[in-house]
Chains A and B, each alone.
Chain A
């Protein structure tokens, strides 16, 4: 249990490639923060720098009260769960969990007690004498969790821990990890490329793109007020519709020949990008929409089509009614997001 503070942490590889631009944020005690972004955005590098597996080029990292920049991973009081579990294949589940404690010179009785507690917590008691290869993917992931728990660390680090599991198990483990982290009240840093995982698990999300932080906020902040077109299109499924438009400062946005009123005026005049979440648009209104394709999702259906030649998706409740190709949509003005035409920054 500790607060973690990253101040101006950056990573430049010896070949000059900048993986992470100076980044600063704090993780509060007991908070689970999710780093999310497309592959190559630097989220894993950032996590590995916190873990001590990667050198920090500039900046200062503190876990608890200590500055840990130069400490070995083992001395940072952290535990990490890897994507491919990284269990020692030749050791039993029990020994896998005990290995870190053994190396710290903790006496056997204490280790056994800790391993037992963790195994009970994770329903692994009957598997303690098995080897990782005799376990299923979900069980292995739990062993990896157990190995992290027994160390009773100040900080949990998760490096895409669920991406090797199938979809159903992933949902289940997501809940288990979240519940466990809450229960232990241990600060955690969680890396994923899956925005659903990020939205469902995080206390706060850090969205990264190209080694830079695009936005830091709670899941609902990120969803309600994405800071840029990148965040808008990355977070949310299906992604937000982004349409190039023109804003002349008089309270309406022009999309081709259409004119849409906006709720609050913006400072920037000229080229803008108009963003509308698929679930915010409803059928029946004044905006003409040409329907091309329907994707059935069960309770909902996705209507793919165009508004004035721009691709547009609507997430509508499924009422099993056939739809004409020429529809009208209502786009409530308080759900419209405006972004700068060039920089993509929210206006």
Chain B
């Protein structure tokens, strides 16, 4: 396998493994916990390195998982004291753990393989050269084995606990009443996040793993209302980010993991603006349509109220409309133009009168407003 294929495959596997727990982090509003865990595992990894006298996967996993548990417990203990707000507790615990990790690295491994920059943004470029040897048998790149296993584990977790996760996420009260422990689900999810972060750490580092977990899931959240579809979309967006990011990195000769994570941010931005259901553009258009409809209704109801009155002529002047309905003159002219185009009103001798269609709309609107009180 060529080095490029290994990099892309690793990226896709990282994206898939991260998207699965990421969806639930976004839905449960715990995204920053991923950030805290990904930083806080550093001292655990260093301790594992220290104990195993070198890079060792099991020791690293054990140390990092322990550090992740300590972090979650510390954050919750701090919140439990009620002396510290939730987000402040996170902001105290993870920098302290990270500082401890950096301290250990620079004190004991200043000249060793553990590069502090790689801690932040990973070393996916070397994925192809770090092969797994068992009794001199070359089993291929280690990163593919690790991330592939994590994908399987996370798929099994989400697949087997789908109902429980869904219930505990959307209605924790009901989940507890039915006998599923939301606390248990919470810790299971935290465990999955920790293990995934540790596995992805060598490839993409402490900060970019947060992008892989949160950005595709958040983009998917803006595109669908169905949990199953959201998970599938998050995985798809993550994989697309990995693939397109690799080409960007190739073109710029820049960090591969960084480019992949940047692309996931770009995909999120696209969803943020152009999602048909929750995007900013669609939202703005919906608001504009509602405002227009309301203004048209106001116009025809106003004209209907004053039809066949002595003051009819005066009330139907465009200039008067803007002060009566509190519209700017420009807005009033615009609404009248649209009303004329839709043949709701007609203009004769400088003042407006209702057409038959306009009168119908006005009666409907007035009736529905009366009903709503």
A and B physically associate: no
Q: Which A residues form the contact surface with B (CB < 8 A)?
A: none
